[in-house]
Structure 1
Amino acid sequence: MALSRGQMTRQKMINLMYLVFIAMLALNVSTEVLDGFVLVNDNLQENIEVTAARNKQIYADIDQAYANNREKTQVGFDISRDVRRKTDSLFNYIQYLKQEIAKKSDGANADINNLKSKDNLDASSEVMISPVGGQGNKLKKALDEYRESILTLISDNTKKDVVSKTLSTQPNERAKKDGKSWLQASFDRMPSIAAITFLSELQVNVKQAEGEVLNNLIQDIDIKDMRVNQLSAFVVPQSSMVMRGTTYSAQIIMAAVDTTQRPRIVVNGKELPEDKNGLYEFAATGTGKQTFNGFIEMLDRSGFPLKREFTQEYTVMEPMATVAPLLMDVLYSGIPNQISISVPGVPISEVSATAVDGGTLSALGNGIWVASPSPSKIGQKFVITVSARVNGATQTVARKEFRIRPLPPALAYIDYKDANGNQRKFRKGALSRALILNSPGIKASIDDGILDIQFTVLSFRTYSFDAMGNTTPELSNGANFSQRQIEQIRKMNRGTRFFIGDIKVKGPDGVEQETNPMQVTIN
């Protein structure tokens, strides 16, 4: 019972570790964050090895019990064989998916444990979600079938709930709000190292679900007393990744604890008070990998002290935040610039941001903010500070600078429909007289693949040339062709060239400008 409880608490730690790193992704992640996934994945691999070793020992105990008394243990023995087969099948399939994602990232000779292209955003999508050959639905079906078969073998409702949640393929609340399925939230545009880490977490959950069934079988065939002489000390932190200034929490327990007595726990030379019930807390200070150690002691059935030592590592991170512009690493004066701001492990409601220089910043909701740079600050920096409220205390966790740029020049065009009825933009070259006259006038916009901003055309002139080279200018009616311009164009023959110039436009920033002229040949 106690071993299973430790596994459940450890699972909470693993889930929290994974969620912290997923939150760090935002839109732009650093190499350090990607390397952090490697650390989490390594921890998960260690967890897999530990859990697999425990399960292997329980299988050995069941086998021994079966050899000693087949009649009594036949049912439990048969169930254990079936559970092992199903677990190994699902575990190996997940391992295969991890290798496929690694191959998509690094090539045929990829090494899961030494991934080169950690930030590859396409590998997991191709392997898991691709309409052709995507493995996602197959994995989801396998997890669903395994979960339902395992749940029928666990009698404790609390443990059932834990297994049901850890092997669930339902999207979490955030994914539901974003309209994403479990597969999309887990693998769509996910860095390859993050997808592999998520699959490692699934392997941990599968192994721990297997362990819950085995613990249940042990109780049913009454061999749990054989486990008492194999007691081990465990440190189960709520998270092995903590932010500097926050509180580190961990449960220190011994497997198969006797509820009639409380163990003596000593950490770093200091004994924990009995009323703490094994809860060890301290303030996280220095950053990087840290270690604490100690021992746990209790009396066995003969009254002799039984002592087990432990050592636990944890990692302290600097406070971090992600500030990611939805366009690029610049802000444009005169238009609202949307920015996504989040802090790993902190609810959006507890995150605040302020523009300390360059303009104003306002919240839209759901982590989206609008930055409005001041026109007088063009060429300077827009500075944002991000604060988070953690455990009742507010602290600044990030400072981000952006360059302020003016809007790029607009380009004029004639809006028309091609032979297939598709809307087109003509900027220069040859165009039929009919298409020109069917258009009411000209338009202007920034359309460079990054920005798509419409400008208002105030006026323009058309310039035609007679046989003597004389120029005839005609003025527009605002953004539309004037009647004189229409007559001018109507008289032109195929091959005639004319120019549209003196094009005056106004952008959303209120600034008027003159765009480059257009050369048009009647086709």
Structure 2
Amino acid sequence: MAGGKLSARQRMINLMYLVFIAMIAMTMSKEVLSAFGLMNDKFVRANELAATSNEGMLAGLKQKAEEKPAEFGVAANKAEQISKISEDFFKFLETQKAMILEKGKFEREENGELPAEKMDKGDFLDEYWFTGDRLTKEGEAFMARLNKYKSDIKEILGDDVKYQTAVENFDQRFSTAEVTNNDGKKLNWLDYHYKGFPAIASYTKLTAMQNDVKATETNMYNLFLGNTLDQAVSLKNYTAIVVPDKNAFFAGEKFTGKVVLGKYATVTPTKLSVEGENLDMNREGAVDSTGAARIEFTVGNVGEHDVNGQFTFLEDGKELPIDFAGKYVVVPRPNSATISADKMNVVYRGVVNPMTISFAGVPEHKVNANAAGLKKVGNGKYEMRPGSGREVTINVTGTLDDGSAVSDKKTFRIKDIPKPTGTISGQMDIVKLPRRNVEIGTVGAILEDFDFELPIQVTSFKVKVPGQPSVAVSGTKLNSQAKNALSRARRGDNIQIFDIKAQINGNSSYKLKDVSPVIVELAD
């Protein structure tokens, strides 16, 4: 409205918008929550595979220690200590995950999976670990247990210079230093990584930390093996390695891959190319202490892709190229949440309702959406022109890379365009105008607080001057008969402009609701 106090109707509308915004702020996309659940499952599977691999390497060290205790006894002893410390900390993290399920009152599904879409709140964990800007006793206990694990591992490695790089990498992996947020404020590590997150995110982060524990065991065992094993060709020097056919799988999809015998070389490559492009071998982190080379490239579109490249090593003074090939899967980045209020899922009859429709993990060209009045206009972009009825359901199907189909649907309420408000000279409701302004003023109609900009054209209206008969007018301005009646009005009289008829420009077939009248108090 133009100035003045807000009407009771306007205050009510403002209050509704505040409630709506609050509902949006409290809503977390089910797709994002499910993505965390899938990520947690991936870490769990990786931890299981790492545990099996680590057991094999530890057994190899023990056997070497029995055969040649003078050469391998110290390394095997260190490995057993690391195994015990890592197992204890891994179990401690498992108790923290169980605490999240217990305090959040989350029960696993019948198939044993986490109820990820229900784990959208994390207030209970905030209250358990934090009090204001400080940590609770439980939060301090968690940090103390994490720091003890770090100090125990470093104590085993000691000050031996050959372990210096391993210690630095371990410190970086489990760094608990203060973190500066986007506002430039320094936060303690636990606050930055866990406060204010949904429960499924905190649960997944703990599983990821368990993965770091397993990775630490793997790195340490490889370090000990690399510094103690001889170069004899023996199957005892090899370990079973799982090579998946691709680096991501959808829930319910069959895992495919192969298991091979191999070992990790500590030889540094001289050249590395991916998709025909040579990578800079002098860049930071290009090759780690074990000789593993880091590859970097911009991934393709959503879907499954091949990756090919070539290692080059020096052997006997000559370059030895070794080709490699693999697969990876690109899924959509969760950089925006799909937020909706269940009671606000509305499309309007008589207007074009723009929509964006996608299916997480499915390329746009493999997504199909159908509904009465729905039309595709671009990549993931649709227009909805609802017809009769009170609801419309949009059915969405997608085709995964393995050819299987997935589907979902959502129902929207259909509402009519709200009642327009009449205006004269751009003012509405009860206004005070000079007689001349009424004579030349334009009668119009607007949609207050409507999400769509609709051009509305007034076709006719009626004018009522006190003591005079009503005058019917075609168009948007007073005719001569109406002006004649206006000339007989006195100062302070209320002139009624009512029975305003209007239509949408370009859509005259849609019948708008009756336009609310305008009352004009003559100022002279």
**Normalised-by-shorter TM-score class:** 0.3 to 0.5
For normalisation by structure 1, the TM-score amounts to 0.45
Structure of greater Rg: 2
